[in-house]
Each structure stands twice: as C-alpha cells, then as structure tokens.
Amino acid sequence: MADAANEFTQENAREVERWAGSASPALARELFAVLALLDENGALRRALADPSYAGPQREHVVRRVFADKISPEAVEIVAHLTGRRWSDDREFTDGLEHAGVALTAASAENRGGLEGLEQVVEQLIAFKGVLDGSHEVQRALSDRRADVEAKTQLAHRLTPGASEETLLLVEQAVLSPRGALVGRLVDRFAEEVAARRQRWIAHVSTSRPLTDDQRARLQEQLNTLYGKDLKLTVDVDPALIGGLKVQVGEEVIDGSVAARLDELRQRIGA
C-alpha cells in the first residue's frame, strides 16, 4: 500500500512540474483553498471527478467557477488536474492536495535550492517531534471545535523561525487534516518534500573507483548538464564493464551499453 501511495504521489508531482519554476507559497495556498472548498461542496467535487463527463467539460466548469476567485495560473493547474481520469472524487481531491504539497516543495527549491528543501524537511520533523512529546498539544491542534485563529497561532508558536513553506504545510495539516491525524499528515508532507531532494543528488555507479580528478571532472560535467550544484555519491559496480550509470531523481543516464558497443567496435576494428 505504501509503495502504491508513493507512486501516486510521484505521478501527481510530475503532473504539476510544468508550474514548478514559478511556484510560490501563494500559488500553493490557492490550491489548498480550492481543496477546502471541494471538501465542503460534495456536489461540485463529484461533478469535477465524474468520468461520465469528458475532461474538457470538467475543465470548463473549473474555469467558470474559479476564474474570478484564484489566479489564472492556479485555475490552469486545477483545470489540468480535473481533466485527468480519476477513480472517484476522493482520489481527485487527494491528487489536488499532493499537487499543493509538490508546489510548496518547488517553492522552497526556488528560494534556496537543496538547502531550502532540507530546511522545510527539518522544520516539519521538528514540529512532529513537538507533537509527539505533548498529548496536550495534540489535543489542542486536533480539536475540531477550537477556534481556527487560535490553532493557527499555536502552530506558529510551535514552529519559531520556520520558513513560509513550512508554515503553510503545518497550517494545512492542522486546519485541514481531512480525516488524518495531524502528526501523520506532517510526516507525509515531510516525505513528499524530501522526495524532491533526490533531484539534487547524483547517484553514480562505475565499474571501478574514480580518481579524485575523474570525480571532479564528473561533478563539473553533471553540474553543467543539470544547471545546479549536485551532491555526488559514487558506488563501484563491477557489472558495469567499463561503464558508468548516473541517476538524478527519476532520470537515469546509463553509459554501460555505449561502453560495450565501443569495446566491440575496437575488437572488430570498426
């Protein structure tokens, strides 16, 4: 079940990647606001996820309902997600929540690169630690009858110095847990943000150990290729006969096949 949920999250993150470069807390907050509205309005939620209507029809409803309520960019994201085929309305709203978290992570990345992402993960984990250490705090933040402003202020006091992205995710978990325990939701948000850190780590497999010079040149080439300062991890895999395999996020660059072809060409004198 956990693997399936992880695949679902990754798929939704890819769905909104086209907007990642301009992601901001304000944009993610708009998606969460739409999510809150749909959670309260069952008729609209079911209509937007109804597979008996064509995707373009559902997208048209989104543009008509939200055009003057959220930014054009947020409208396009919600319309894009609405146009997908969902098994039911809960899966649709879960997808919208994942999109909001993905854009919050992208905002942290835009602000501070790998450090921005790590900051959010660390702050979410710290907040979860506070929850785990106090049943009183758990009850206060889980009380549905409690005043929204009071719960928000308490959450902020428990996350001193937190980034705007962290505060947004904490508020979402506290004010709109959607049936989940606040602590578990914070854990899941932290995992989703942490998954984006893999885009900054180059996992390299090579047939033999690299010299310091080779490692430095590989680091420089990968930084140039991806346009950012990647972290490099290197493992030796003798099965890669003269080859090199690099994985950054979900992208894999496998040079082992090319190496074998070159070796064959040399042997036959081609």
**pLDDT, tens digit (0-9, with 9 covering 90-100), for 192-225:** 999 998 888 999 888 888 889 989 988 998 899 8
Whether residues 23 and 151 fall in one domain: yes
**Structural domain span for residue 239:** 207-268
Instruction: Please state the domain count of the chain.
Output: 2
Whether residues 222 and 189 fall in one domain: no
**pLDDT, tens digit (0-9, with 9 covering 90-100), for 92-103:** 999 999 999 999
Whether residues 154 and 254 fall in one domain: no
Residue that is last in its domain, among 197, 224, 246: 197
Whether residues 187 and 241 fall in one domain: no
pLDDT reported for residue 255: 62
Q: DSSP string of 50-112?
A: -TTS-HHHHHHHHHHHHTTTS-HHHHHHHHHHHTS--SSHHHHHHHHHHHHHHHHHHHHHHHH
Assess whether pLDDT exceeds 90 at residue 241: no
**pLDDT band at residue 88 under the 50/70/90 scheme:** very high
The H or E element that residue 13 is part of is helix 2-15
Contact between 58 and 83 (Cβ < 8 Å):
yes
Q: Is residue 87 part of a domain?
A: yes
Q: Is residue 202 part of a domain?
A: no
Whether residues 169 and 239 fall in one domain: no
Question: What is the chain's mean pLDDT, rounded?
Answer: 89
Q: Which two tokens stand for residue 123?
A: 């702050």
**pLDDT band at residue 256 under the 50/70/90 scheme:** low
pLDDT reported for residue 199: 87
Whether residues 127 and 164 fall in one domain: yes
pLDDT reported for residue 7: 53
Whether residues 219 and 88 fall in one domain: no
pLDDT reported for residue 242: 58
Assess whether pLDDT exceeds 80 at residue 270: no
Q: Is residue 257 part of a domain?
A: yes
Return the amino acid letter for 186: V
